[in-house]
A = this chain, B = another copy of it.
């Protein structure tokens, strides 16, 4: 191992976001039974955390109208956290009632234009909503949770986001948590549209580290094929928390989609960690099978390569 790998973590926590990102993105033809089947299969692979659904307006996202049914249908394992997301108080209260795990989520966007299009909020409105949400979290006895910064590296409306701007938006969200007496559990930097390269990841992660002691997590979309290289850049800086999606669920690049693409494929991120001696607790063989199951469920090829090739048997 050379000097470049000194900061590698001994262990990485991978949160599977495929069910939420994937089912939200796919046309609404996927049955609740199949969604439950995928979550149950994922929970057998050693993954510590699975993002299963979102509580959002079913008029806007009909794919997630069965979020309650998914929560009721899955078979829970003690060692797995079954997470969901929401954008506002109504969604949070639904999530709370659903039985999913609900780590307090404070979110915002580095790009103001993306925030307007995605959350229909101005930066001030978003901060006010997040402040109220954090208050509701406290009322419901929630502890610290992640701060999510969307479009941390760039967006399709504003182009590249300067580190200074991303830090400013991040600081506003961190302040909301600290002000409420509940510091963030981590700061998750999202490359929402696959704008980053490895140098960009290093620059922002390093800047966030210089400013705060909170753990940094990465949520990396593979829109332009650099996702796994960006994950490597993060790993080598000691980043030990990642979101990823089995098979690369969350987008279908083969449909010529120009607005979204899935996250880094969980099985490939886990393979890279494994090949570098970073423990994930994941059973790679089992996870590769689930990637194939995910393709069967969405009934089109997913971007992940590993499930097509199979694991390399290094010990033949």
A235-266, CB < 8 A from B: 236-237, 253-258, 261, 265
A123-176, CB < 8 A from B: 154, 156-160
Residue A30 at the B interface, CB < 8 A?
A: no
Q: Do A199 and B310 touch (CB < 8 A)? A: no
Instruction: Determine which of B5, B193, B254 lies in contact with A199 in the assembled complex, contact meaning CB atoms within 8 Å.
Output: B5
Instruction: Determine which of B194, B222, B232 lies in contact with A198 in the assembled complex, contact meaning CB atoms within 8 Å.
Output: B232
Instruction: Give how many copies assemble into the complex.
Output: 2
0 or 1 for each of A191-203: is its CB under 8 Å from B? (1 = yes): 0011111111010
Residues of B within 8 A of A256 (CB): 308
Residue A31 at the B interface, CB < 8 A?
A: no
Residues of B within 8 A of A225 (CB): 228, 265, 268, 271, 304-306
Q: Which of A157, A277, A306 has the most CB of B within 10 A?
A: A306
Residues of B within 8 A of A231 (CB): 229
0 or 1 for each of A290-316: is its CB under 8 Å from B? (1 = yes): 000000000001011110111111111
Q: How far is the CA of A195 from the CA of B228 in the complex (A)?
A: 16
Residues of B within 8 A of A255 (CB): 308
Q: Do B272 and A226 touch (CB < 8 A)? A: yes
Residue A41 at the B interface, CB < 8 A?
A: no
Q: Do B261 and A309 touch (CB < 8 A)? A: yes
Tell me, rounded to whole Å, the shortest Cβ–Cβ distance linking A74 to chain B. 28
Residues of B within 8 A of A258 (CB): 308-310
Residues of B within 8 A of A233 (CB): 232
> Given A229-B229, A271-B226, do A261 and B160 touch, yes or no (CB 8 Å)?
no
Q: How far is the CA of A266 from the CA of B40 in the complex (A)?
A: 38
Q: Do B268 and A226 touch (CB < 8 A)? A: yes
Q: Do B275 and A199 touch (CB < 8 A)? A: yes
Can you sample 27 A-B contacts with CB below 8 Å? A1-B202, A2-B206, A4-B202, A5-B199, A154-B312, A156-B312, A156-B313, A158-B316, A160-B315, A193-B312, A194-B305, A194-B309, A195-B312, A195-B314, A198-B275, A199-B277, A224-B271, A224-B306, A225-B305, A228-B229, A232-B232, A253-B308, A254-B308, A257-B309, A258-B310, A261-B308, A303-B305
